[in-house]
A and B are shown apart, each in its own frame.
Chain A
Amino acid sequence: MEQAIEVRGLRKSYGDIEVLKGIDLSVERGSLLALLGPNGAGKTTTVRILSTLLEPDGGVARVNGHDVVAQAAAVRGSIGLTGQQTAVDELLTGYENLVLMGRLFRLRTGAARRRARELLARFDLEDAADRLVRTYSGGMRRRLDLAISLVTSPPVLFLDEPTTGLDPRSRGGVWETVRDLLASGVTVLLTTQYLEEADQLAGHVAVVDGGRIVAEGSPSELKRHVGAERLELTFADERALAAASRVLAAEEPRAGGPLALSLPVEHAKDVKRMLDQLAESGVEPDRLFVAEPTLDDVFLTLTGQPTGGTR
């Protein structure tokens, strides 16, 4: 299958600081790849190079079959970009923003207007179409930003942390839009700091740290690699805790520590087995829940360092 994005050995330095130390990526046409990593890992630099905003120091990158350096104009004609910073004009209305961008994407005025109305409807901004963007909420701005990057139905879309700073409802809205786009055959490269986001959207995740890809795979592969889910149990008192840790053969709990046990879970049936064992010996946990591995766990396992080192 043809690759919509193909990157080999991408390098970039700012002065003495090597930001990208040889990134390899490939994204199949019509799929979504999530670049997952903390601030400063090199995600944005990668996106900026792929969207022709920055020239690489080394390596090759092709987007939609065009080289990002030698054929930058052709690349610009086939991509949409939503950056971390919303790039909308505060003193124009939502409608005017979309028409302007349509004209700059070389649509005829009539076509640009029709497209603007269509996108406003699709992104649930019809009521706000004729209001100045400076009166928009954060979520509305982000939706408009996303709409702008879709003015020409680009085959390849770059979304640089599209949900950072959004409330959960707006985040869900963006996710839904991204799923619709994928269903319509668009190729998406998304960067995120949230494992959950990668999990929700991506068929494929590449974990970036310190300018390198440190792991790659489907979200479930990655999580298996990182470590199992854990059953977290809390107890009413020390006696129950001690009894439970005997029954479940867990590590001896620390005296005076939290009244809690954390046990690795490989399969759903492990949970049932452990709860059965507790019930047989008459120990009742106070509360229980199953915790997923977090981005911190991913990084701890893959790089030996917690996230946010460069924040």
Chain B
Amino acid sequence: MTTVTPPAPAGPSAYWALNDSRALIGRCLRHIARSPEQLMLMFFLPIMLLLMFRYLFGGAISTGGVSYVNYVLAGIITVAVTFNATATSVAVCSDLQEGIVERFRSMPVRGSAVLVGHVVAALVRHVISIAVMIGVGFLVGFRPQAGFGQWCAALGLLLLFATAVSWIAAVLGIVAKTVEGASGLSMPLVFIPYVGSALVPPSTMPDGLRAFAENQPVSHVADAVRALFTGAPVGDAAWLAVVWWAGIIVVVVPLAGRLFRRRAAG
């Protein structure tokens, strides 16, 4: 039996933070293909939702000039992002419950690397899921007018949104006491896009609800991405979306780190 001695922790601490994050991202990426729940949330549910709105409800919803599928795809993508977030909450929570975080803490591992692993893997899931949504969209009649710049802007905005939602999901996973609780706590997150402009134009909603639906941050993302896809004027939606979701990231990331350390130490 050989004796293995780890290299002395020389080198800048940023190097080791990166090393730990890379190892833990790899871990979470392997989980994706092996977790039926994550695959289901990534592919099956959003595709079903898209087909349902395209063919079941779409005909009865009036969206003015644009066809319903061109209207709804941006919104369905925001819903797919929040669906996927549920899996992140559950994964973070079960890590904290199953003793593996305890082991990491007894090792020379940066605690934040565990969360970075989950969030980066979540982003990979979001990107795949978004790509699949757009692909299926094309099959069922989605015809965007966007040029290269608009595509980049739309995808960048979705990535910002997905990053923020992943960190929120991580916080919910830390706060939840049980895996079932994590799943329950992230339900409002899944529901929020529905109370907005994601799937239907809010113009027919009652006044109070309509004010909320038009001004909540998921609607800004859906409105901006839809406008970019369809070549319509973006208006205030894009910068409102950026300010909202960048602001949420600034608040939630440090909060997640602090809550994680406290929970892991408890």
Q: Does A53 contact B (CB under 8 A)?
A: yes
Residues of A contacting B188 with CB < 8 Å? none
User: Which B22-71 residues have C-beta < 8 A from chain A?
Assistant: 22-24, 26-27, 30-31, 34-35
Chain B residues with CB under 8 Å of A86's CB are 99
**Which B residues lie within 8 Å of A85 (CB)?**
98-99, 102
The stretch that binds B, out of A5-13, A88-96, A190-198, A265-273, is: A88-96
CB of A73 closer than 8 Å to a CB of B: yes
Instruction: Given the known inter-chain contacts A76-B106, A106-B108, please indicate yes or no for A83 contacting B6, CB distance below 8 A.
Output: no
Interface range on chain B: under 10, 10 to 19, 20 to 34, or 35 or more?
A: 20 to 34
Chain A: interface size category: 35 or more
A-chain residues with CB within 8 Å of residue B106 when the two chains form the complex: 51-53, 76, 79, 81
User: Considering the complex, which residues of chain B in the window 1-37 have a beta carbon less than 8 Å from any beta carbon of chain A?
Assistant: 1-7, 9, 16, 19-20, 22-24, 26-27, 30-31, 34-35
Q: What's the nearest-Cβ distance from chain B to residue A258, in Å?
A: 45
Contacting residues of chain A (60-102) with chain B, CB-CB under 8 angstroms: 73, 76-77, 79, 81, 83, 85-92, 96, 100-101
Asked if A87 and B30 sit within 8 Å, CB to CB, the answer is no
Question: CB of B103 within 8 A of chain A?
Answer: yes
A36 at the interface (CB under 8 A from B): no
**Contacting residue for A103 out of B7, B23, B34, B103, CB 8 A:** B23
CA distance A210 to B19 in the complex (A): 42
A100 to B104: give the CA distance in the assembly, Å: 11
Q: Interface residues, chain B, CB within 8 Å of chain A?
A: 1-7, 9, 16, 19-20, 22-24, 26-27, 30-31, 34-35, 98-100, 102-109, 265
- A residues in contact (CB < 8 Å) with B: 51-54, 73, 76-77, 79, 81, 83, 85-92, 96, 100-101, 103-108, 111, 115, 118, 122, 132, 148, 151-153, 184
Contacts A/B (CB < 8 Å), 28 sampled = A51-B106, A52-B105, A53-B102, A76-B106, A76-B108, A77-B9, A77-B108, A83-B99, A91-B30, A91-B35, A100-B24, A101-B103, A101-B107, A103-B22, A104-B23, A104-B24, A105-B6, A106-B6, A106-B9, A106-B19, A107-B4, A107-B7, A118-B1, A132-B34, A148-B103, A151-B4, A152-B6, A184-B1
